[in-house]
A and B are shown apart, each in its own frame.
Chain A
Amino acid sequence: NAGVTQTPKFQVLKTGQSMTLQCAQDMNHEYMSWYRQDPGMGLRLIHYSVGAGITDQGEVPNGYNVSRSTTEDFPLRLLSAAPSQTSVYFCASSFGQGARTYEQYFGPGTRLTVT
């Protein structure tokens, strides 16, 4: 199993540009999520999905869109990049069933710089 994969590893954008960060998992996990990690801030939840066709907002959703058309893929779209979105982005997945919470598996991250 490849686990959770993310592309690209690094990206530089100019203010106002848009792009999509890709995330895929091959563990048949229902739950997937996107976090951003900033120095001294820990990880903050951007968006999450409990299954194909179902997404919801996390703690810091503004400026980002997600969709979940398949169980495997959960892309994160930056609509109009801003310098405040400079961060490291992590995708994670977990087996989710009802109210129980399980360990999350993380991808290697995408380091994004917006100039």
Chain B
Amino acid sequence: SQQGEEDPQALSIQEGENATMNCSYKTSINNLQWYRQNSGRGLVHLILIRSNEREKHSGRLRVTLDTSKKSSSLLITASRAADTASYFCATALYGNNRLAFGKGNQVVVIP
């Protein structure tokens, strides 16, 4: 079953604006990961946040995790046209390396 559920599913913004995506999940997790997929390509790992972390930064990316609400958010600051892609959250359960992916957020950054 799908563990991650992203919201909103489609986002269109102007270059330079910030983009925020949310992800909710149902069960306790080991960690949560965000991936990017450019059209027609494989997924690329962006950031991993562990269940005992609340916030993590990587360049223009900021991820938060609220385990009490079983939700995470991905913020992309100062967006660029190259950020146009689909973004997926994926949750990892304890005890194995399996990931459960959400359905993805499509982000379009207009130059």
- Chain A residues with CB under 8 Å of chain B are 4, 31, 33, 35, 40-45, 48, 50, 58-59, 90, 92, 94, 96, 99-109
Contact = CB atoms under 8 A, between A and B. Distances in A.
Contact of A101 (B1, B35, B92): B92
Contact of A31 (B4, B95, B97, B100): B97
Interface in B29-62: 30-31, 33, 35, 40-45, 48
Interface residues of B, number: 28
B11 to A, nearest CB: 16
Interface of B: 1-2, 4, 30-31, 33, 35, 40-45, 48, 88, 90, 92, 94-104
A48 B93 CA distance: 15
Given A99-B94, A101-B31, A103-B48, A42 B88 contact: yes
Contacts of A42: 2, 4, 88, 101-104
The 5 tightest CB contacts between A and B, nearest first, are: A101-B92, A106-B42, A103-B45, A42-B103, A43-B101
Given A42-B104, A99-B30, A104 B45 contact: yes
A8 B101 CA distance: 24
